[in-house]
A = this chain, B = another copy of it.
Amino acid sequence: MEILSGVQDGLTLGTPIALLVRNADARAGDYAEMRSKFRPSHADYTYQAKYGIRAVEGGGRASARETVGRVAAGAVAQKMLAELAGIEIVAYVQRVGDVVAEIGRDVTRAQVEATMVRCPDPSAAQAMIDLIDAVRKAGDSVGGVIEAVARKVPAGLGEPVFDRLEADLGKALLSLPACKGFESGSGFAGTRMRGSQHNDAFFSEGGRVRTRTNWSGGIQGGISNGEDVVVRAAFKPTATVLLSQETVDVEGNATTLQARGRHDPCVLPRAVPVVEAMMALVLADHWLRQRGQCGMR
């Protein structure tokens, strides 16, 4: 990675930081067949329909390679959040297929990085690894859920109506390749609860208003309440599978396609730092907006 602008002697200058990462591992040949055929559940057809043209090699802008830019920007945001606000963010794989991990709220990045699948529950991690291996051998793929927690977020971040904190976090995560769902706090499961169970009772602790439970996921009325901000993102099974699939060619004729080349049967472990980065970018934006509008009360 090369820093093109905005940094001098290790310090940011206040002006935009431009970062450049070149693809050092392009294999154009892998994409020859895609020139004439649309890969199912990839962006080949929709880009063609939208623009009347598409980059074939590497999938063009639709490639998840673009997330490197998000991670790089998120690294700057995380430094800023840590230094100015004390905010820390941890994400981890919470589920792969049907394998669910049990994870405490005090989970650390070290625990996450301790396993190959970025799941801090060691026994679930092993089951995930086994599942992914089996799926890989079958030439297939599998999806799952990433959970992310932001700690020490001050109360007051987020806007009342359109730019609610969970709306902006949702947009940020749903903008990731393969992400098809988003939850904050109790999410979909919470819709089965009664209000009397779901409401987070307030109490005082050391001069600070806190809540006994955190079904709200740290956000009430679209604004952070000082508790841990907790979100989850659903990632579908990778579209690239090494099995023969029904599709059409660019003229619309029926054909089949069997992918070759690189095959990642489960994007979840690699998506963990991307989720952290997007969460950091949203929190940094809202932190700056709040300091602008309210002077960081």
Which residues of A come within 8 Å of B, CB atoms? 4-5, 8, 11, 13-16, 20, 38, 40-43, 45-47, 49-55, 60-62, 66, 95, 97-98, 135, 138-145, 155-158, 160-164, 166-168, 170-172, 174-175, 177, 179-188, 190-204, 207, 209, 211-212, 215-217, 219-226, 234-241, 243, 245-248, 252-254, 265, 288-297
Contacts and interface: CB of A to CB of B under 8 A. Distances in A.
A127 B131 CA distance: 39
B14 A51 contact: yes
A217 B180 contact: yes
Contacts of A97: 191-192
A49 B252 contact: no
Contacts of A16: 61
A194 B236 CA distance: 9
Contact of A236 (B42, B143, B191, B238): B191
A15 B191 contact: no
Contact of A222 (B43, B157, B198, B248): B43
Contacts of A170: 167, 170-171, 174, 182
A138 B55 CA distance: 55
Contacts of A248: 202-204, 209
Number of copies: 4
Given A46-B220, A204-B252, A220-B41, A143 B294 contact: no
A170 B186 CA distance: 17
B235 A191 contact: yes
Contacts of A289: 292
B15 A204 contact: no
Nearest to A191: B143
A167 B164 CA distance: 14
